[in-house]
Amino acid sequence: MGTKLKVLTLNCWGIPFLTQFRPERIEAIGNQLAKGDYDIVLLQEIWLQSDYEKLCSLVMTVLPHAHYFHSGMVGSGLCIFSKHSILETLSYRFSLNGYPQRVLHGDWFAGKMVGLAKLLVDDIRLNIYVTHTHAEYNPLKTDYSAHRIIQSFELSQFIKHTSETCDGVILGGDFNFMPSQLGYSIIRYNSNLSDAWLCQKREGSEGFHANTCDRPDNCFSNGSALDRNPDGQRLDYLMCRANSGYRVDCDECTLTMRRVPGMHFNYSDHEGVQAVFIVKRSVTALPPARESGEIEKHLTAAVPIIDDAMKRVKSDKVYCIVAMVLALILLIFTFDVSLPFGLTALVILLRGCLVVTVAYFFWTLVVLKTIELKGLTAARNDINNALKSNPPL
């Protein structure tokens, strides 16, 4: 028969002060999970420690084992709840996470990452991964393209190199990539994982019903997102894989956690994804063959994106130098300016602004752009090495 595991992933949209009905939705999520329908729950965007503790108190009788993955300034937002004991945990923070000056985007402050929890279920060693990668924000701009691709590569490498000794792998989270995008393909093929929605035994797994975000039937979807994607986007996933001697099959994968019963709002701006996995021993089972051609194709496609980003960073560094020098010249010039009485305060204010400007561009040049360039260079080298080691077909 095998071991049956019902798994849920949900982006809870728990941004304090900015998201609608957050306290009510967190409590509703906890109450729903407390019904005991799930063996493993993977949540994203639980930003407040108090929200995490609230969920723990609501689900402790049915999901007694929990772990929050701390990262960044405000926390990763990632946590796991389980019916089964969590033996070990490990996390990896992505090397590039956007830009701190873009405060409203917030990814840099969150420290986007992947978390690993090792479980032992009926003597089966399972690696459970939860992640939330950098958002796209504006599909017409490529500011974050390289960062997002690098995160997908680092996520896939982390899974690949930490799952060699386990019996089965389950990955869940908000990838912020649609299936047609490069990042999704890198995660899927380089990690050698199967998409639960596509490999499930239940028929009718294609189409609109897979979309998890910006759906027209979600009360939190906004007009601009619906204009771009009238049917919504598929951004949230569950994926799986077995190693030698085991099988991991997906019986069914469906959307859930949608409209809160008796309320006029949804649990989140994302739909939840739930899947029923059957894990069983099989002495003849071999791990799925790595699709070398797909891996090579998608990793090769990532290289020019990173190269373009490296060129942009070098150009940004030149811009920073020019801006800093001009601000310094103007600052020096203000010391020779003689103004009528009463206007001195304006000069002092101008000097203060120029000092801040110089400091900002100096910090951006010496610290932020240097870190970004090194991160891009390291990722490019890692991808080149992965391409060299990828066995030919």
* Cα(71)–Cα(131) distance, integer angstroms: 12
Pairing mode, strands 124-132 and 168-174: parallel
Cα distance between residue 50 and residue 314, in whole Å: 42
According to the model, what pLDDT value does residue 69 have? 97
pLDDT at position 132 is: 98
Specify the pLDDT at position 44: 98
Answer for the pair 282, 246: CB distance below 8 angstroms, yes or no.
yes
Q: Tell me, rounded to whole angstroms, the distance of Cα 329 from its chain centroid.
A: 43
What is the pLDDT at residue 223? Answer: 76
Residue-level pLDDT at 392: 60
Query: DSSP alpha helices (H): ranges in the chain?
Result: 22-33, 49-59, 107-110, 145-162, 182-190, 196-199, 223-228, 292-334, 344-363, 369-389
Residue among 84, 134, 147, 270 flagged as catalytic: 270
Classify residue 48 as exposed, middle or buried by CB count within 10 Å of its CB (0-12, 13-18, 19+): middle
Give me the pLDDT at residue 1, please. 75
| pLDDT tens track for 312-362 | 999 999 999 999 999 999 998 888 767 666 677 788 888 899 999 999 999
pLDDT value, residue 344:
74
298 classed as catalytic: no
Query: What does the pLDDT read at residue 340?
Result: 67
Q: What is the pLDDT of residues 134-148, one digit of tens each?
A: 999 988 788 899 999
Q: Which residues contact 319 (CB under 8 A, 6 or more apart)?
A: none
- What stretches in the chain show pLDDT beneath 70? 203-208, 337, 339-342, 391-393
Q: Residue 43 and residue 108: Cα distance in Å, rounded?
A: 19
Q: What is the C-alpha separation between 28 and 267, in angstroms, rounded?
A: 7
236-242 and 246-256 strand pairing: unpaired
